[in-house]
Amino acid sequence: MTPDRSPGLAESARALAAGEVTSRTLVERTLARIEAGRPVLNAFRIVCAEAALAEADAADRELAAGGRRPLLGVPVAVKDDTDVAGEPTAFGCAGDFPPA
């Protein structure tokens, strides 16, 4: 697997604020990297692609309207030891878990 040289959090936030990239583009690239790594890494238990794209579109609208927050539009992953409403908290364990 080729090392990933994609922009990190700070560079992504800077590029978004400068209008050099959209949140949707960042999310699409992130989703593509997740899929590309799945056969080897299988690092993501749950991927909420549709929700991520919808949130990216909302962030892009907010940015276009002049909204500014430090991480507005930057894609992030949430480790599965953190409760997320409607999603199971599995702590990296196999099995079925009730949604948080």
The domain in which residue 44 lies consists of: 1-72+79-100
pLDDT tens, position by position, 34-83? 999 999 988 888 899 999 999 999 999 999 999 999 999 999 998 888 88
3-state secondary structure of 59: helix
Report the alpha-carbon distance of residue 15 to residue 98 in Å, rounded.
38
What percent of the chain is predicted at pLDDT more than 90? 63
pTM to 2 decimals? 0.84
- Note the Cα 50 to chain centre separation in Å: 11
Q: What is the pLDDT of residue 2?
A: 64
Q: Which of 7-11, 26-30, 81-85 has the lowest mean pLDDT?
A: 81-85
Q: What is the dihedral of CA 99, 93, 75, 36, to 10 degrees?
A: -130
Q: For the packed helices 49-64 and 23-37, what is the interaxial angle rounded to 10 degrees?
A: 160
**Token digits for 21?**
């990239």
Q: Are 71 and 38 in contact (CB under 8 A)?
A: no
pLDDT level of residue 23 (50, 70, 90 thresholds)? very high
Q: Are 52 and 27 in contact (CB under 8 A)?
A: yes
Per-chain mean pLDDT for the chain: 89
Q: How many domains does the chain have?
A: 1
